[in-house]
Amino acid sequence: MKYILVSGILALFCILFVTPTLAVPVNLTLSGVSEQGGYITIDILLSPGTGTDGYLTLWFNKPAGDCKDARLLSWKHLTGETKEGTVHMESAVPVDITPGTYEITALYGAGTSLPSSCDQGVSSKSPVTISTPGQAGHDMAGRLAGAGTGSGPQYKIDAISGIDTAIRVEPGSPIQPGVTIKNTGADDTSGEQVEVHAFLGGNELIPLHASIAPLKAGEVKDESLSFTIPGYIPQQGYPFFLIIDPRGDHGAVDSASNLKRTGGKMSVSIEDPGVGCGCHQ
């Protein structure tokens, strides 16, 4: 009888005190959603839960459109210790989008992988009016024009490897760039992962493994990253580039260090069955 009573008390304790800590979702509220000069800006009021890491994603779609047709605008990793506040996120207007009214969805998903546009996570929607069409040559490099200064960490991508822009890739296929990253500033004591975002022109790629542990002053690290080329990306040539810590969560941001391009353009196209394959799977 005592054994049953003790077991019951332990079970009740777990239900009351453990489960809610792991299951409390974030609350999202969108504000200041606008587009100007080909850039979409969004402020997200975040009231996080506790104890669970996850990802905040932004998706772009037609009003009341099929979730399968949504395009990824940007993403951010959230930790279980994320405090309440406003997160500012930006994106270039996706390639080949024409002026008109569209819908932005902010979606949060707990776990170690990015939630898809059709996942049933905590979300918030807002209309956005697009006045500037999306263009392949218009990308997030235009948001990193300033010179980075400050006394904190300063991340620099010294090199990109494993990317051959002479090889054609297909929509929906994975790519695995290697990077050499250095912290040229002070020690990063944040304890939070440092994001690396990948782009083909104005299109953000879907991250699979896209962050590194914070580095000490002067520390250099080689890392293998992985991304998926979205299935919706228009078939044409794009410059490939990476941006580390794009929102300055760890230190000052500038194009001379945080952004690194490869030479040439990566051709995104589906193989013609009648032609020998020159693509990379």
pLDDT, tens digit (0-9, with 9 covering 90-100), for 152-176: 899 999 999 999 888 889 999 999 9
pLDDT band at 46 (very low <50, low <70, confident <90, very high): confident
pLDDT band at 9 (very low <50, low <70, confident <90, very high): very low
Number of H helices, E strands in the chain: 3, 22
Task: Indicate the pairing of strand 259-261 with strand 174-175.
Answer: unpaired
Residue with the larger pLDDT of the pair 62 and 4 = 62
The CATH architecture one would assign to domain 140-270 is: Sandwich (2.60)
The CATH architecture one would assign to domain 25-130 is: Sandwich (2.60)
Domains 25-130 and 140-270 in one fold:
yes
Task: Show me where the domains of the chain are located.
Answer: 25-130, 140-270
Residues 6 or more apart whose Cβ sits within 8 Å of residue 275: none
pLDDT number for residue 272: 61
Mean pLDDT along residues 212-235: 95
pLDDT number for residue 167: 84
Q: How many Å is the Cα radius of gyration of the chain?
A: 21
Task: Indicate the pairing of strand 206-209 with strand 100-110.
Answer: unpaired
User: For residues 41 and 32, what is the distance between their CA atoms, to the nearest angstrom?
Assistant: 7
pLDDT tens profile 73-119:
999 998 876 677 888 999 999 988 999 999 999 999 888 889 999 99
184: three-class secondary structure by DSSP: coil
